[in-house]
Chains A and B, each alone.
Chain A
Amino acid sequence: MSTTNPQSDTQPDEGPRRPRWSRRPAEGSPAAAARARRRSKQRRRLSNVAALMAGLVLTGALYSTLAPGAQAADEGSESSAEAAGRELYERSCISCHGENLEGVPNRGPSLIGVGEAAVYFQVHTGRMPLVRQEAQAPDKPAIFSDEEIDQLMAYVQANGGGPVLPSGDLRDGDLAAGGELFRLNCAQCHNFVGEGGALSSGKYAPSLEDANDLEIYAAMLSGPENMPIFGDNQLTPEEKRSIINYIQTITDMPDPGGAGIGRIGPVSEGLVIWVVGVAALLFGIFWMGSKA
């Protein structure tokens, strides 16, 4: 920084260069003109600092009046659900997510700002608590009861904040538009039919077959594992509901053509033609022809 200081260039005899903001001892300078210039500079610097301070104070004041006052409410009493959640948290989550939701390096991410949506998704699908560190947390039967999940959600929401779960009919959206959005935003990992698919290095997009509405919504809000977050700016709540409507409609839909064979298209079809079709016909020709 000091190299950009024009003053040091004019005073090569001054000894070690100093940063501009360090106070100089008052000593005689070679030229009065230079001193006057310096003083006017200092004055300008002072007014700059004052303006900056004023701006910061103003911004702070503005923020404190406009921002939601949720923070203030947290300070005092903790509801009973939060207390129960804290107990659960300290028993089952603290080793990886830290004492104050701040996360533990190389073990678990911070939970500040993930909100109750993330807690609901991770715990309700059984992904958390984690069995071991691996490429991705697999879903398994939930460890906690619904009530305990509510308590954990309350605790994390109260202390970390973040997206909250929606309410109302989560399938309240346009079916066909949901399909179009699903193919545009979700199919590249979850497959056209929500069968899921492989990602790199052992990660994967899970099948959506047994996901409930709220889990899908919470996943879009919180972007669990390798999934991106689809905030309300990317997909409006209405669009999210349309997508959920589409996923659940085609999941529940019977296959008009017969056995669905996994609904993954050519791979299972190829398997069927060889294992069932060709095998049946080989049996047929063994029956008809003779052997050597």
Chain B
Amino acid sequence: MARTATAPGAPTTALGKAALEVDDRLIVAGPLRRTLNKVFPDHWSFLLGEIALYSFIILLLTGTYLTFFFQASMTEVVYDGSYAPLRGIDMSIAYASTLDLSFDVRGGLLIRQMHHWAALLFMASIVVHMLRIFFTGAFRRPRETNWLIGVALLILGIFEGFAGYSMPDDLLSGTGLRIMSAIILSIPVIGTWAHWAVFGGDYVGELIVGRLYIAHVLIIPAILLGLIALHMLILVKQKHTQFPGPGRTEHNVIGNRLFPTFAGKATGLMMVVFGVVAALGGLVQINPVWLWGPYNPAQVSSASQPDWYVMFLDGSTRLFPAWDIYLPGNYNIPALFWPTVVLPGIIFTLLLAYPMLERKLTGDTASHHLLQRPRDVPVRTSLGMMAISFYVVLLLSGANDVIADKFDISLNAMTWIGRIGLLIVPPIAYVLTYRICLGLQQHDREVLEHGIETGVIRRLPHGEFIEVHQPLGPVDEHGHGQLAYGGAPVPKKMNQVGGARRAIRGFFSPIEEPTAVELEQRGEDRGLATAEPQRELTTSGRPAEGGRPSEGGRPSEGGRPSEGGRPQEPRD
């Protein structure tokens, strides 16, 4: 903005003058400058949450279009639209308007499908984003609040999705709604009253679609929007975390400023998310309600599943034994209560409380802005894998009839695989992950101590063969490295410390001249070829050369460790 100013405080261009006029009145220059200068870490995993944000934007836009045509009413009509196999059938206005939306509104089916795909993507990207937060310890003090908000967004997202796919009043969603009604009824003491409050009477009544609609288009989105705004405000206030590495401390953030680099990236990513959702919406059919038929409580179809983010509850219901509890006085706690109310209650309570639990158990109450690599916190990583495996067993069990059918497995066997798997897979996942974490740590330590394996085999005068190791830093009299283990990535290939010539930049195709890069390399006096004359014939390679790994192999690149032989993406 200041590029055209010739004198301080005196813009000369029309744009500059206009900006000055605005700033005189609104005094935005200061905050705007701070905001535009905010630094975002450039690691790819920091973009996962943004996928969720952009899916939410798509949901708002497409959802608004859908509200123009969808009518949330359960009044019965006789369908007379353009889909012949349902013409003349009694159905609710909600279902009829969904059919009209799909077949008779221009672009309606595309927008409806984009909306549904974006909803699935929204939930999936929230989960992936949360996994990143969890496994890197980004939820630790001071970011517990944002973790809580994140879990609240996840739970609200599940309810929002459920309300959304239940509204068309088709046979699949009606089956889901019937199950939800049964779940509410199964709650001891308050169940019946809660059901009457939600449905306005016995199942199904004539109110529920209208209520779901208001929840889906007004109440839950408003809360979601507010929480997302809060989530991001807290993020800006607390600043980003970052992975440990060269030059990265608890008191800085290394990356790109919001303007222009990150804004460019974010816009690009938004376009990619829009593109993927539009491609799915246009090319892959989702929730073809015309094939399901209108809801009729007398009808049900095999392979009736909820959308994937609710499917784990379907799975828990399928696995849980039919243990009804009969109490004196004609009271009864149905088996459904445990897998669909108690289990998710426990799961989400643990999820919400995890930062506090970990703080309590480890006694670590310090503020953390540097992330941890999963291998460096094996207990948390293993707990996380344990939780994931538990969840995946439930998720797959939710689809166990489809799996049984498509892979020719007995459905009974699938149920028992799920029941036994639910108990034994998580501990196995815990142990395996723990060992893998320790193994990865060991390897890092070994490289720090002995250096990188160069692949060069030498024969010593007395006949022994040794592999030449390249130490990463200064060594002691035994040739052992003196670098401390820092929880940061350790280069493990010679290429990663400039052993080969620098990788040519470009993701799909090179964006530099290979010959120019080679010339630059020679000028820099780095790499194997240039170092060859100075190489000593010892087991430890070049003790005097090579920077400390904390400075990376390539100081000229801002201290980032390089990516080695793979093509490199443009940095800026």
The interface of chain A, by Cβ under 8 A from chain B, is 135, 174-177, 179-180, 183-184, 187-193, 195-202, 204-205, 246, 249-250, 253, 255-261, 263-267, 269-270, 272-274, 276-278, 280-281, 284-292
Question: Given A180-B293, A257-B113, A290-B42, list of 8 further CB < 8 A pairs?
Answer: A177-B88, A198-B405, A202-B408, A202-B413, A269-B287, A270-B308, A285-B44, A292-B43
Inter-subunit contact A179/B86 (CB<8 Å): yes
Top 8 closest pairs, chain A to chain B, by CB: A289-B44, A197-B302, A270-B308, A257-B285, A202-B410, A198-B404, A273-B120, A285-B47
Report chain A residues within 8 Å CB of B569.
Answer: 286-290
Inter-subunit contact B43/A259 (CB<8 Å): no
Within 63-120 of B, Cβ neighbours of A (below 8 Å) are at: 84-89, 102-103, 109, 113, 116-117, 120
Give the B interface residue count (CB, 8 A): 79
Report chain A residues within 8 Å CB of B243.
Answer: 292
Partner among A202, A261, A270, A284 whose Cβ is within 8 Å of the Cβ of B272: A284
B376 part of interface (Cβ distance < 8 Å): no
**CB-based nearest B residue for A288:** B265
Partner among B47, B128, B402 whose Cβ is within 8 Å of the Cβ of A278: B128
Inter-subunit contact B293/A179 (CB<8 Å): yes
Inter-subunit contact B411/A269 (CB<8 Å): no
Q: Is the interface of A mostly helix, strand, loop or mixed?
A: helix
Report chain A residues within 8 Å CB of B527.
Answer: none
The digit string for B544-572, where 1 denotes a CB below 8 A from any CB of A, is 00000000000000001101000001010
Report chain A residues within 8 Å CB of B308.
Answer: 266, 269-270, 273-274
Report chain B residues within 8 Å CB of A190.
Answer: 302
The digit string for B412-429, where 1 denotes a CB below 8 A from any CB of A, is 111000000000000000
Inter-subunit contact B45/A289 (CB<8 Å): yes
The digit string for B250-284, where 1 denotes a CB below 8 A from any CB of A, is 00000000000000010011001100110010111
Inter-subunit contact A265/B405 (CB<8 Å): no
Report chain B residues within 8 Å CB of A277.
Answer: 117, 120-121, 124, 276-277, 280
| Given A257-B286, A258-B284, A266-B307, A200 and B43 contact (CB-CB distance below 8 Å) | no
Within 300-327 of B, Cβ neighbours of A (below 8 Å) are at: 300-308, 311
Q: Give, as a whole number of angstroms, the nearest-CB distance from B297 to chain A.
A: 11
Inter-subunit contact B303/A289 (CB<8 Å): no
Inter-subunit contact B410/A135 (CB<8 Å): yes
Partner among B42, B85, B88, B298 whose Cβ is within 8 Å of the Cβ of A184: B298
A259 to B102, CA, bound (A): 16
| Given A188-B302, A258-B283, A266-B308, A281 and B125 contact (CB-CB distance below 8 Å) | yes
Report chain B residues within 8 Å CB of A280.
Answer: 276
Report chain B residues within 8 Å CB of A174.
Answer: 88
B207 part of interface (Cβ distance < 8 Å): no
Inter-subunit contact A278/B285 (CB<8 Å): no
Inter-subunit contact B45/A274 (CB<8 Å): no
Report chain A residues within 8 Å CB of B286.
Answer: 257, 269
Q: Give, as a whole number of angstroms, the nearest-CB distance from B284 to chain A.
A: 5
| Given A192-B172, A274-B124, A290-B569, A266 and B306 contact (CB-CB distance below 8 Å) | yes
